Amino acid sequence: MRRAEVLPIIRFHAPDGGKLRHAHQHRHWLLHCWKQLSLRRDVQRIDYYFVSRETISDLHKKFLSDDRETDILTFDYGESAEIFICPSVIREHAQRYQTTFAMEMRRVMIHGVLHMLGFDDSEESAQEAMRHIEDFCLEEWKNCFT
């Protein structure tokens, strides 16, 4: 008998009860990528929090002892995870890398998932591998909705 596939529940939290635009599409795409990439079956929930620059900086310093600015932090607790994303930093990165805000947001969202799947971007060669998989997932966005 074949086991049913278990996928995590994905929730989005914005400040002041705001909503992520196209949350249903993002959830569908993230789960599609999860199925394509995942060997982990123990994750039950992923919560994305969209936070201010100040909040993400405080978290980065408190938990990673790092004063540098970041766009995303992933906290993997085994059966669940919290992914903190700073839209204002992503907007700046989109301009710097000459891409759209939506594309950079999706790249960062999948980047957090890749960390949960065991990918590490602390070395340059690992960064290239993660970028390759991010690009694959960004292409999958097109496949999900065209």
Spatial separation of the C-alpha atoms in residues 129 and 126, rounded to whole Å? 5
Q: Please, what is the angle between helix 101-116 and helix 124-145, to 10°?
A: 120
Say if residue 2's pLDDT is above 90: no
Do 14 and 52 meet the contact criterion of CB atoms below 8 Å apart? no
Q: What is the mean pLDDT of the chain?
A: 90
Q: Please, what is the angle between helix 101-116 and helix 87-96, to 10°?
A: 110
pLDDT of residue 123: 85
**Between β-strands 72-76 and 45-50, what pairing exists: parallel, antiparallel or unpaired?**
unpaired
Domain 9-145, architecture per CATH: 3-Layer(aba) Sandwich (3.40)
User: What mean pLDDT is predicted for residues 28-41?
Assistant: 87
For residue 113, name the pLDDT band (cuts at 50, 70, 90).
very high
Spatial separation of the C-alpha atoms in residues 29 and 37, rounded to whole Å? 12
